[in-house]
């Protein structure tokens, strides 16, 4: 295979080395094995060629947050063995498209969405893992919370709803640390939610937490999946939440 964008490849490789060093240091502090941490490269606003370079460098978990961008990108990379993660807020009318290429939905945050995901996964004959997105900013419920997610108190019930769907697998939980709160405090709260969910669902071991700016705190709080965009691929030109 020809390798276009040699400079880009070197840039991503260098970023990946630095990222792996950060993860290793955090794991050492937390007395965890680096093998417990999966890096999800969040490739939103980035071309499919970046996904290809990441795969060549051994990063095969890819995160996207908009179906309109992710669907064609996934199609362009259909020849690669990748695991696609949908990490953005998800509208029910996008579920049919999203389950076509997504392996893990990180943003299960309301009963209706779970039912539609289950219906579409069944229809497509696809196994879809769902994470319950937990809001850590103290806002009550999904509506109005700027970054989405259910309150800690609602998470167990929603996890039960996912687990009750034959077409879905409950993977665990996901959270974004809110702005203005120390990440360590936010992730400590997430750890409590994790314990409550696991009490009823011992196989729900995935904890998707930590981004470029706070992955150390997330790893120290038990994260199994870190979602990294900027630290791997550089600053995004446009802000996409």
Ligand X SMILES: *Cc1c(COP(=O)(O)O)cnc(C)c1O
Chain contacts with ligand X (rule: CB under 6 A): 42, 44, 65, 87-88, 176, 211-213, 227-231
Q: Which CB atom, from 118 or from 223, has the smaller least distance to ligand X? A: 223
Q: Which CB atom, from 94 or from 227, has the smaller least distance to ligand X? A: 227
Q: Are strands 128-135 and 61-64 parallel, antiparallel or unpaired?
A: unpaired
Q: Which CB atom, from 178 or from 229, has the smaller least distance to ligand X? A: 229
Closest C-alpha among 148, 117, 139, 140 to residue 130: 117
CA torsion, ordered 62, 82, 17, 36, to nearest 10 deg: 90
Q: How far is the CB of 83 from ligand X (least distance, A)?
A: 15
The pair of structure tokens assigned to 60 is 């095969």
Q: Which CB atom, from 3 or from 21, has the smaller least distance to ligand X? A: 21
Query: What DSSP assignment string belongs to 11-79?
Result: HHHHHHHHHHHHHHHHHHHTT--GGG-EEEEE-TTS-HHHHHHHHHTT--EEEES-HHHHHHHHHHTTT
Do residues 77 and 64 make contact, with C-beta atoms less than 8 angstroms apart?
Answer: no
Q: How far is the CB of 235 from ligand X (least distance, A)?
A: 8
Q: How far is the CB of 212 from ligand X (least distance, A)?
A: 3
Q: How far is the CB of 136 from ligand X (least distance, A)?
A: 13
- Please give the residue whose beta carbon sits closest to ligand X in the complex: 229
Q: Which CB atom, from 153 or from 213, has the smaller least distance to ligand X? A: 213
Q: How far is the CB of 146 from ligand X (least distance, A)?
A: 12
């Amino acid at each position: 295979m020809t390798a276009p964008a040699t400079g880009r490849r070197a840039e991503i490789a260098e970023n990946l080395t630095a990222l792996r060093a950060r993860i290793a240091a955090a794991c050492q502090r937390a007395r965890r094995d680096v093998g417990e941490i999966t890096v999800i490269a969040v490739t939103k606003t980035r071309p499919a060629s970046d996904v290809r370079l990441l795969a060549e460098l051994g990063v095969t978990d890819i995160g996207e947050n908009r179906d309109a961008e992710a669907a064609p990108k996934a199609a362009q990379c259909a020849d690669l063995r990748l695991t696609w993660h949908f990490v953005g807020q998800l509208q029910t009318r996008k579920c049919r498209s999203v389950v076509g290429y997504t392996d893990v939905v990180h943003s299960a945050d309301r009963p209706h969405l779970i039912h539609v995901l289950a219906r579409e996964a069944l229809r497509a004959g696809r196994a879809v893992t769902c994470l319950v997105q937990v809001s850590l900013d103290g806002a009550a419920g999904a509506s109005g919370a700027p970054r989405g997610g259910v309150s800690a108190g609602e998470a167990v019930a929603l996890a039960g709803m996912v687990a009750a769907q034959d077409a879905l697998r409950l993977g665990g939980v996901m959270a974004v640390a809110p702005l203005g709160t120390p990440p360590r405090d936010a992730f400590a709260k997430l750890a409590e939610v994790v314990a409550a969910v696991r009490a009823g669902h011992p196989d729900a071991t995935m904890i998707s937490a930590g981004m470029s700016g706070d992955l150390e705190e997330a790893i120290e709080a038990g994260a199994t999946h870190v979602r990294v965009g900027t630290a791997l691929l550089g600053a995004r030109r446009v802000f996409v939440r």
